[in-house]
Structure 1
Amino acid sequence: MRTEILKIIEGGLERNSEKVKSYAKLMSEKLQDQGEEKFATRISALLDSKVAAHPVYLDEFMTKPVDQDSRLDMVEVSMAGKFSEEIILPDITRMKIEHYVESLKGRDKFLELGLDLPESLLLYGPPGCGKTSIAHYISERTGLPLVTAKLDGLISSLLGSTAKNIRKIFEYAQERPCILFLDEFDAIAKARDDEHEVGELKRVVNSLLQNIDKFNTNSILIAATNHEKLLDPAVWRRFSNVIEIPKPSQGEIEKLLKNNLKIVKATFLKDKKKIDIITEMLVGMSPSEIKSVCFNSVKQSILKDEKTISYATFLYQLYLSKGSYNEQNSLVEFLNTSGVSQISISKTIGISQRQVRNILEGKGDEIKNEKE
């Protein structure tokens, strides 16, 4: 709780009563969890006697910073709650994230030794691989609210206002016990040597770096980007922890399939040959894209009143997800090559077995030409 004590002192020196109340409330909750009920009750009673009936810790997040021109909120606040989503990651990546979480939870030990270490984290990797979910997971593990900067409210048509908006967001987060999350970070942290960027935007990056430097003391910053190569080199030095979130391997894809298809029975998941075919086809896709294929397969099975998701149904949805359904013939050939029987092909895409047989025997084009 040394972090909370320092923040309470800072708030007192700054005459910022909201900051004092927020961290005092957080400290009271931690004392309660550690069995120090008497001391926690005294703190809560003192807070209750000085504030209105509603909880300050929750209420103060309601007054969000807004862009002066658009009047849009510049942040979204998610209170720490139970995180139900399972994140499938490589073992080494998961280990790095857990190590980061443990370092956050053990900050008091570092402060006791006189070490005031910055705990900023940069997540990078392809879109749809779980960077935002990881930020929410860290929020749940630490018990701290997640304050997510909204870029549509942050970036103003007037670049001078954008720098002011950045400062507002950092000040808002610094006054409250929370994690500040900057998603799509490359939108405001582009390299200053980019010849296509105007001078004013480069000054915005300078402002961002200055705010990060001030914020890193006793505060938690997480940023995420899909385009790490666009980031200014100086940005990387501001983050004490950098973790790549890659696309899943075949082993991780199999876990994703089992996790996302558990609502409806999928018998093909127990067939190693079929699983190998599917996972190989899914290599290169993000967890988000794989989840979408699974969801569409479940939906199709439910609409057809089928009790299980068939191998053919899943491959059909996978084929559609790749945007390669130009004609019926290519779909039939794809399913057949993947080991789907002619009967299953007929049932899955809604054509007769004779049509399937004609297509596979090369007669599909002849029949089509005759009709034309």
Structure 2
Amino acid sequence: MATAEQIKSLLLSHYKNDSDRFTSIALQVAAHEARKGHMSIAKEIKALIDKAKTDGFKVIKINPNLEDLVLVYYPEIGLENLVLSEEIRNKLLRIIREYDQREKITKFGLNIRRKVLLSGLPGTGKTATASSIAAELKLPLYVVMMDKLMTKYMGETSAKLRQVFDMMVSNRGIYLFDEFDALGASRGRDNEIGEMRRILNSFLQLIEQDQSESLILCATNHIKILDSALFRRFDDIINYKLPDQKIIKELIQIKLFKYLDNFSLDPIVEIADGLSHAEITNACNDALKEIILSNKSKVSEELLTTMIKERKMNFFNQ
């Protein structure tokens, strides 16, 4: 096994985005294992390093000016764990399929669906969608923190936006502009200010000019307040709704399939009607935590009903 110092050095080089140092230490670990007679492990480590080089893998570097503005994730859970309507699932599969075969499409002078607006109430699956697409395409997910962009860098926001779009060229990935209405609100709203209008105009120009190979996803809870000029800049608009009773039942079954006692879910599904995907998932998690703490093996109808009712009370009292 790697020494404690080697592990610390690996972590340090990773967090400093020093790919050369990371590779050097990894090779040292391989040599260390070989000296101890662990030839199989040493060969595996070297094979991983060689594969990373041939695949063009590198430690992702973010512009230091954007480190607190753009968060990077490496999702591993794909669409199979998302409970969505057939319509939305088909749209997402189409985006993934087009991206996977983008060279075939662009040869005919056509553009793939690469700029997508996700609209819907909180908790209906917009952020989870971005994460799942990243996992399906094996790309990093970059989340642009709109609240920091619009407050901390007021007056410099257009410049920071340009840096984000430049980053899309150098760092291919899925870029999620969450809470997008903070930037995309209509230029004709009564409470607008000149700076916000300039920022929106800047974004309109940047997204229209963007020719990177990254996917741009913008998520909003308030599509009605978005500026009308935005819509034609997107290749697709996906509208998320609260789950119907069929999806509610499927959500509960997937989350609690090993722990559900033998009872009908139909009455609980009716109670849960009107809750978001996230609230239903949270209610199931609450029930699981309760049986763990109570040393029980199954979630009873009474317990799940109680947790759903609590979530519904909280949801509608917001």
Is TM > 0.5 for Structure 1 vs Structure 2?
A: yes
Q: Distance in 2 between matches of 1:225 and 1:165?
A: 20
Q: Which residue of 1 aligns with 2:291?
A: 301
Q: Distance in 1 between matches of 2:271 and 2:255?
A: 17
Q: Distance in 2 between matches of 1:281 and 1:198?
A: 44
Q: Which residue of 2 aligns with 1:262?
A: 257
Within 5 A, what are the aligned runs for 1:91-240? 91-117=86-112, 119-157=114-152, 159-216=154-211, 218-240=213-235
Q: Which residue of 1 aligns with 2:20?
A: none
- The amino acid of 2:143's aligned partner reads T
Q: Which residue of 2 aligns with 1:63?
A: 62
- The amino acid of 2:172's aligned partner reads P
Describe the shift of the 1:263–1:85 C-alpha distance in structure 2 as closer, same or farther (beyond 3 A). farther
SS of the counterpart of 2:238? Answer: strand
Of residues 241-250 and 303-312 in structure 1, the stretch that sits farther from structure 2 once superposed is 303-312
**Contact kept in structure 1, 2:173 and 2:215, CA below 8 Å:** yes
SS of the counterpart of 1:306? Answer: coil
Describe the shift of the 1:80–1:254 C-alpha distance in structure 2 as closer, same or farther (beyond 3 A). closer
| Deviation beyond 6 Å, 4+ runs, structure 1 | none
State the 1:323 CA deviation: 3.2
Say whether 1:288 aligns with 2:278.
yes
**Contact kept in structure 1, 2:275 and 2:312, CA below 8 Å:** no
State the 1:240 CA deviation: 0.8
Q: Distance in 1 between matches of 2:275 and 2:130?
A: 21
**Contact kept in structure 1, 2:98 and 2:113, CA below 8 Å:** no
Q: Distance in 2 between matches of 1:100 and 1:83?
A: 14
Describe the shift of the 1:65–1:155 C-alpha distance in structure 2 as closer, same or farther (beyond 3 A). farther
Q: Distance in 1 between matches of 2:113 and 2:154?
A: 29
Describe the shift of the 1:84–1:266 C-alpha distance in structure 2 as closer, same or farther (beyond 3 A). farther
**Contact kept in structure 2, 1:120 and 1:222, CA below 8 Å:** yes
- The amino acid of 2:241's aligned partner reads P
Q: 2:269 aligns with which of 271, 279, 303?
A: 279
- The amino acid of 1:63's aligned partner reads I
Within 5 A, what are the aligned runs for 1:309-320? 309-320=299-310
Of residues 77-86 and 159-168 in structure 1, the stretch that sits farther from structure 2 once superposed is 77-86
Q: Distance in 1 between matches of 2:191 and 2:269?
A: 41
Within 5 A, what are the aligned runs for 1:16-35? none
The CA deviation string for residues 324-363 of structure 1, in whole angstroms up to 9 with x for no partner, is 7xxxxxxxxxxxxxxxxxxxxxxxxxxxxxxxxxxxxxxx
Say whether 1:73 aligns with 2:76.
no
Percent identical residues: 30
**Contact kept in structure 2, 1:74 and 1:169, CA below 8 Å:** no
**Contact kept in structure 2, 1:163 and 1:208, CA below 8 Å:** yes
Of residues 244-253 and 298-307 in structure 1, the stretch that sits farther from structure 2 once superposed is 298-307
Instruction: Report the number of matched residues.
Output: 265
**Contact kept in structure 2, 1:122 and 1:239, CA below 8 Å:** yes
Q: Which residue of 1 aligns with 2:15?
A: none
- The amino acid of 1:64's aligned partner reads N
State the 1:116 CA deviation: 4.0
Q: Which residue of 2 aligns with 1:349?
A: none
TM-score, structure 1 normalization: 0.66
Describe the shift of the 1:96–1:116 C-alpha distance in structure 2 as closer, same or farther (beyond 3 A). closer
The CA deviation string for residues 225-265 of structure 1, in whole angstroms up to 9 with x for no partner, is 11111211111111011111111110010000001112423
- The amino acid of 1:280's aligned partner reads E
5+ residue gaps, structure 1: 1-43, 49-54, 325-372
Q: Distance in 1 between matches of 2:274 and 2:262?
A: 24
TM-score, structure 2 normalization: 0.76
Of residues 258-267 and 280-289 in structure 1, the stretch that sits farther from structure 2 once superposed is 258-267
SS of the counterpart of 1:323? Answer: helix
Describe the shift of the 1:98–1:110 C-alpha distance in structure 2 as closer, same or farther (beyond 3 A). same
Q: Highest Rg: 1 or 2?
A: 1
5+ residue gaps, structure 2: 1-49
- The amino acid of 2:58's aligned partner reads L
Q: Which has the higher contact order (CA 8 A, sep 6+)?
A: 2
Of residues 235-244 and 80-89 in structure 1, the stretch that sits farther from structure 2 once superposed is 80-89
- The amino acid of 1:177's aligned partner reads R
Describe the shift of the 1:241–1:129 C-alpha distance in structure 2 as closer, same or farther (beyond 3 A). same
Q: Distance in 2 between matches of 1:188 and 1:177?
A: 23
**Contact kept in structure 1, 2:179 and 2:220, CA below 8 Å:** yes
**Contact kept in structure 1, 2:181 and 2:222, CA below 8 Å:** yes
**Contact kept in structure 2, 1:118 and 1:217, CA below 8 Å:** no
**Contact kept in structure 1, 2:291 and 2:297, CA below 8 Å:** yes
Alignment root-mean-square deviation, CA: 2.4
